Structure 1
Amino acid sequence: MYRKVELAPKPPSEFELPLCGSLSPDNRWVKMTQVIPWSEFEAEYAKNFPTEMGAPAKSFRMALGALIIKEKLGISDRETVEQIRENPYLQYFIGQSIYSNELPFDPSLLVHFRQRISPNLINKVNERMVEKMRSPRPNQTRKKKKDSDGRNESLNRGKLIIDATCAPADISYPTDLGLLNGARVHTEKIIDILYKHIKEKTHKKPRTYRNLARKDYLAVAKKRRPTRNKRRQAIKKQLQYIKRNLAHIEQLIDAGATIEGLNKKQYKTRLVLTEVSRQQQWLFDNNKHSMEDRIVSLSQPHIRPIVRGKAGKSVEFGAKLSASCFEGYVFLDRMSWDNFNESGDLKAQVEAYYRFTGYYPESVHADRIYRTRENRAWCKERGIRISGPPLGRPPANVSKSKKKQAAYDERIRNAIEGKFGQGKRRFGLNRVMAKLDNTSGTVIAITFLVMNLTTWWRRVFCVFLCLFGKRTPVLGLMIISHYNWSGLTQEKLILNRA
């Protein structure tokens, strides 16, 4: 059951503290509360609770606020709840009106929050939040200009930066031998569970040869550089052990061991083990190392290998992301567990920029993979310049102006690389700790939202330093030279209105 509550942020002076005093309106959590559109998406979140029965659910502001706090501070679920209990500003951020020394909710509820708030909903909140962060435009519609022939043409403005990356999941590096050894161990556990149901009917337990199988595995796994024949022999032995164990599982079920004896997770694991055995047997028979929809993790079977070709990491295991960036704000445009060609997302990303701003970008800064003939023609029809040299044989002599333009475009494109680095080094995008596919998507989307919040707060703080630097011209010049943002004037308006 979900009860509609007042999600609009109240003034911090109305927050009741145990002692005399009030919250500071200049605190970062108070400022961020004012730019997040809590109430606009409460109805969509309430669809997760269609019935009127049961205990009242936590509000959308509390659920989203707790997830933002967790990713912003980079802490665990349990530590997030403790931080909220100890900090009145965090309690105000999640919508409480009175300071309380009690736990706002159990730490396990954060898992349900990640399941209920989908990545699509977070992307909507992110877009609406960035609209509030940007200064209000007098006219968001497409402006028109007349050329020499008197026709109307769209006035393109801004620079759109697009790129793709991978968010690795928290799994061990998958090898065929290690994956088969883990699958064998799981089959042995399932046999032990099913045998308990028919232990009274029969006294003969199926033999699994688990001690011998582990010795065969360690004999090769402990070697630093085993030969190819040694690895194939070890893989063949593990496949035989798994095949025998799977047959024993079917015999136990036919003998009366009910499949209901396995819980939901164990039943899902059994299906995964069967598929892993089939895939590894096909790879072994055909002497291959890759196949479509290959499972690389028993606990997270949705993860697929993503070939990136980067130095040191040619293959990553996680979700592939396609993102866009403009005016310092980054957006998650596409997320998939399967590998895809990011060049096909250029048109959709440009159209999303048009819907968001009301005009097409002046230029699109992308990697070489985006500069296909089709994308170039599509951008040319809309008056968009795509970065990079033209297709075909490079000219013998390149003018200095074109060299400067190419270097300038490459410097602009580095902005989205910096965003990926910020997400991976600061906000945990380099190792997604969530285990489910839907909760992992929520964690990734929340990371992009938190990065935009961080960018906005850093800019507001920079404006404060610039205003303070007016009294000391040297300090002001140093700040402006260090933070040379095009939206600095716009953020002054935001600060004045706040």
Structure 2
Amino acid sequence: MYQPKFQQLTFENFHLPFGGKLDPENRWVKLADVIPWHVAETMYAKNFMSKRGAPALTVRMALGSLIIKEKLGLSDIETVEQIKENPYLQFFIGLETYQHAAPFDASMLTHFRKRLKHTDLAALQEELLQRHLAEERRKAEERNQNDDGDGGSGNKGKLIVDATCAPADIAYPTDIGLLNEAREKTEKIIDQLCANAPQELGKPRTYRKKARKAFLSAIMKRNLSKKALRRAIRQQLQYIGRNLKHIEALSAAVPLTVLSTARYRDLLVIDELYRQQQEMYKSDRKSISDRIVSISQPHVRPIVRGKAAARTEFGMKLSISVVDGISLPERMSWNAYNEGCDLVRDIERYRERYGHYPESVHADKIYRTLANRMWCKARGIRLSGVPLGRPPKDVEKNRARRRQIREDEGVRNAVEGMFGKAKRRYGLGRVMARLAESSLSVVSITFLVMNLDRLLAAPFLRLFEWLLLELDVIRNLFAWSPPRAAIECRGAMA
């Protein structure tokens, strides 16, 4: 049961047992004012349809604790400990007074990630973006400037798009390692079925000691030849096939319901893994559709990236768009896909958010297909990169063309910086969640925290941009002034 309890807390009403008040300039107090908690509560309440049962924890406590975890880079247990010790964190999650006891157990963070789905977090980010745009339009009107979001025909703004991989927390998969793990799990399943079987039903032979010895003799070799590797894989496949036949025979006398949910799920995954590995062994190839690389996380897929550090990564592939420092996930998938096919959709979403097409789109080579170039040209959008055709013979035009290409690459570096920040500073470099839906929520929360930091830093960034503009004005003034006047001006300033 969920009871709506939304009310905007103020730091004046937060009671501290040792006296005093909260600092209104604290980062957690400011962050609490930016988040639209009422929008998140509407989505969160859909998880509780029944009117019975104990009241659930509020959405501010659920979402706030997840934001704290990602912002500070903590584990679930450490997140609860930090909340228990810090009054500002307790105010951020919606408590009305400081308390020494933990507001919830660390295991509740798993339920929070399940309830706050990535689609709800995406809608919350859209709400944040619209609020930010409305505030920018209001300030522009106060400065007697034109409103950029009036849906005019002119293209405005720069859109940056790119894709990356968010690696999952799994061991590096090898065929021989996966087969050994599958064999050990089938042996445990056989032991559990035999423990619940009638006494007259004997325990089948699994040859587990011989199988373990064959596995160790293969992996302990420094230089394992292809022939020896195929022999080791064939042996492990034979042991797993024999174990699966024993499980099928035992299931006639002992129902598989005696197995736990985790082991029954492992049995289904191992059956598919055995089929894939056997097919790859017979055809002598290393790839197959929907290849399983982890028994505990069967949704993880290999993503070929071709990077210097890792040619293949194992996790989720995602595409994002960056506009004025705000990064939004556009697509998240466990299967590899061609991100160049999503360019038109990303530009249309930009138009829905801002009311007009972008002036320029900055993307890498995979996005610059002929179809995408023609589509952008028909709508007056300049696609970054080297244009088609030969370079112009005119020296000035050729120089301007190269200068434009360098500027576009410099603009596109912003999305690479976003990926680096998300992977080095936050948890995108190794997603620790084990469930598929929870992993999607973790990635969405990562970008939500990054955007919240960007919104809090917006006043400082606007001041920095104003200073740069003033410096450009002064530089242009000296550049176009007569030499004598410029010298006298510099002397007066000195």
> Structure 2 length normalisation: TM-score?
0.90
Aligned to 1:289, what secondary structure does the other structure show?
coil
State the distance in 2 between where 1:268 and 1:52 align: 32
Q: In the alignment, what sits opposite 1:5?
A: 5
Q: In the alignment, what sits opposite 1:68?
A: 67
Structure 1 residues 152-175: Cα deviation after superposition (integer angstroms, max 9, x where no partner): xx1111100000000000011111
Q: 1:133 to 1:86 in 2, by over 3 A?
A: farther
Alignment of 1:246-325 (within 5 A): 246-254=244-252, 256-325=253-322
Q: Which amino acid aligns with 2:284?
A: N
State the distance in 2 between where 1:93 and 1:324 align: 29
Q: In the alignment, what sits opposite 1:473?
A: none
Alignment of 1:204-223 (within 5 A): 204-223=202-221
Query: Given that residues 392 and 398 in structure 2 are in contact (C-alpha distance below 8 angstroms), is that contact kept between their aligned partners in structure 1?
Result: no
Structure 1 residues 259-281: Cα deviation after superposition (integer angstroms, max 9, x where no partner): 11111111111000100000000
Aligned to 1:173, what secondary structure does the other structure show?
coil
State the distance in 1 between where 2:323 and 2:195 align: 61
Query: Given that residues 283 and 290 in structure 1 are in contact (C-alpha distance below 8 angstroms), is that contact kept between their aligned partners in structure 2?
Result: yes
Q: In the alignment, what sits opposite 2:188?
A: 189
Q: In the alignment, what sits opposite 2:355?
A: 358
Q: 1:409 to 1:265 in 2, by over 3 A?
A: same
Structure 1 residues 191-234: Cα deviation after superposition (integer angstroms, max 9, x where no partner): 011000115233x2111111110110111111122000000000
Alignment of 1:323-472 (within 5 A): 323-391=320-388, 399-461=398-460
State the distance in 2 between where 1:378 and 1:95 align: 48
State the distance in 2 between where 1:442 and 1:393 align: 47
Alignment of 1:8-157 (within 5 A): 9-134=8-133, 135-137=135-137, 138=141, 139=147, 141-144=149-152, 154-157=153-156
Q: Which amino acid aligns with 1:26?
A: E
Tell me how far 1:462 sits from its aligned partner.
5.5
The range that moved more, 450-459 or 182-191, is: 450-459
Counterpart selection for 2:239 from 238, 241, 244: 241
* Count of aligned residue pairs for this structure pair: 461
Query: Given that residues 466 and 480 in structure 1 are in contact (C-alpha distance below 8 angstroms), is that contact kept between their aligned partners in structure 2?
Result: no
Query: Given that residues 44 and 59 in structure 2 are in contact (C-alpha distance below 8 angstroms), is that contact kept between their aligned partners in structure 1?
Result: yes
Q: Report percent identity of matched pairs.
A: 51
Structure 1 residues 28-79: Cα deviation after superposition (integer angstroms, max 9, x where no partner): 1111111111102312211100000111111111111111000000000011
Q: Which amino acid aligns with 2:158?
A: K
Q: 1:440 to 1:229 in 2, by over 3 A?
A: same
Q: Which amino acid aligns with 1:168?
A: P
Structure 1 residues 69-119: Cα deviation after superposition (integer angstroms, max 9, x where no partner): 000000000111111111111111111111111111111110011001111
Q: Which amino acid aligns with 2:448?
A: L
Q: More helix by proportion, 1 or 2? A: 2
Query: Given that residues 316 and 333 in structure 2 are in contact (C-alpha distance below 8 angstroms), is that contact kept between their aligned partners in structure 1?
Result: yes
Gaps of 5+ in 1: 145-153, 468-475, 482-498
Q: In the alignment, what sits opposite 1:492?
A: none
Alignment of 1:471-486 (within 5 A): none
State the distance in 1 between where 2:308 and 2:415 align: 19
Tell me how far 1:394 sits from its aligned partner.
5.8
Q: In the alignment, what sits opposite 1:470?
A: none
Aligned to 1:21, what secondary structure does the other structure show?
coil
The range that moved more, 117-126 or 449-458, is: 449-458
State the distance in 1 between where 2:10 and 2:471 align: 32
Structure 1 residues 322-370: Cα deviation after superposition (integer angstroms, max 9, x where no partner): 1000101100010000000001111111111111111111100000000
Structure 1 residues 403-434: Cα deviation after superposition (integer angstroms, max 9, x where no partner): 11000000000000000000001102110000
Q: Which amino acid aligns with 1:289?
A: K
Query: Given that residues 6 and 41 in structure 2 are in contact (C-alpha distance below 8 angstroms), is that contact kept between their aligned partners in structure 1?
Result: no
State the distance in 2 between where 1:40 and 1:245 align: 52
Q: Which amino acid aligns with 1:280?
A: Q
> Structure 1 length normalisation: TM-score?
0.89
Query: Given that residues 35 and 132 in structure 1 are in contact (C-alpha distance below 8 angstroms), is that contact kept between their aligned partners in structure 2?
Result: no
Aligned to 2:102, what secondary structure does the other structure show?
coil
The range that moved more, 170-179 or 352-361, is: 352-361
Tell me how far 1:132 sits from its aligned partner.
2.9
Q: 1:277 to 1:393 in 2, by over 3 A?
A: farther
Query: Given that residues 304 and 313 in structure 2 are in contact (C-alpha distance below 8 angstroms), is that contact kept between their aligned partners in structure 1?
Result: yes
Aligned to 1:50, what secondary structure does the other structure show?
coil
Tell me how far 1:455 sits from its aligned partner.
2.2
Q: 1:462 to 1:346 in 2, by over 3 A?
A: closer
Q: 1:95 to 1:464 in 2, by over 3 A?
A: farther
Q: In the alignment, what sits opposite 1:489?
A: none
State the distance in 1 between where 2:359 and 2:398 align: 22
Tell me how far 1:305 sits from its aligned partner.
0.6
State the distance in 2 between where 1:119 and 1:32 align: 21
Gaps of 5+ in 2: 142-146, 473-494
Tell me how far 1:466 sits from its aligned partner.
9.8
Q: In the alignment, what sits opposite 1:150?
A: none
